[in-house]
């Protein structure tokens, strides 16, 4: 049986406070080091309030405001994969390149999904059937 990791905490309110602090550090690192995250955040700052305003129902507001949040979540995961790959090696390696490409594909699919969510909610208002 393996020993427990010395890097894992035991729990409690202090763990929650520390986890929140680590999350803020992660957001700050993404903001400082990832241009795509900054661009997508700027778009989210516009789209989230707009989605809350344009949505007629709670579900529409959730779709419109949640779509840009989903893009940010996947971008954070992609950035983490890229940072980890670069920490392993900055040399060209097919598996590291594949990991980065797959992360990028996840962002692309999330962007397409976000666009589809917006189109599915708003298009019927402009082009009724």
39 is in an annotated binding site: yes
Contact 40, 75 (CB under 8 A): yes
For every residue of the chain, DSSP letters joined together read -PPPPTTS---SHHHHHHHHHHHHHHHHHHHHH-HHHHHHHHHHHHHHHHHHHH-SSHHHHHHHHHHHHHHHHHHHHHHHHHHHHHHH-SS--HHHHHHHHHHHHHHHHHHHHHHHHHHHHHHHHHS--
40 is in an annotated binding site: yes
60 is in an annotated binding site: no
Catalytic residue flag (residue 75): yes
56 is in an annotated binding site: no
18 is in an annotated binding site: no
82 is in an annotated binding site: yes
61 is in an annotated binding site: yes
Catalytic residue chosen out of the listed positions 64, 68, 75, 96: 75
Residue numbers belonging to the annotated binding site: 15, 22, 34, 36-40, 61, 75, 82, 100-101, 104
Residues noted as catalytic:
75
Residue numbers belonging to the annotated binding site for substrate: 15, 36-40, 61, 75, 104
Residue numbers belonging to the annotated binding site for ATP: 15, 22, 34, 82, 100-101
Residue numbers belonging to the annotated binding site for a divalent metal cation: 34, 82
């Amino acid at each position: 049986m393996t020993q427990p990791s010395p890097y894992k905490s035991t729990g409690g309110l202090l763990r929650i406070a520390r986890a929140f602090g680590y999350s803020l550090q992660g957001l700050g690192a993404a903001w400082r080091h990832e241009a795509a995250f900054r661009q997508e955040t700027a778009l989210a700052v516009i789209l989230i309030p707009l989605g809350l305003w344009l949505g007629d129902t709670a579900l529409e507001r959730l779709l419109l405001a949640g779509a840009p949040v989903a893009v940010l979540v996947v971008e954070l995961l992609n950035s983490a994969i890229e940072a980890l790959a670069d920490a392993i090696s900055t040399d060209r390696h097919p598996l590291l390149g594949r990991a980065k490409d797959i992360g990028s594909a996840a962002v692309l699919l999330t962007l397409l999904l976000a666009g589809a969510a917006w189109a599915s909610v708003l298009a019927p208002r402009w082009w009724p059937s």
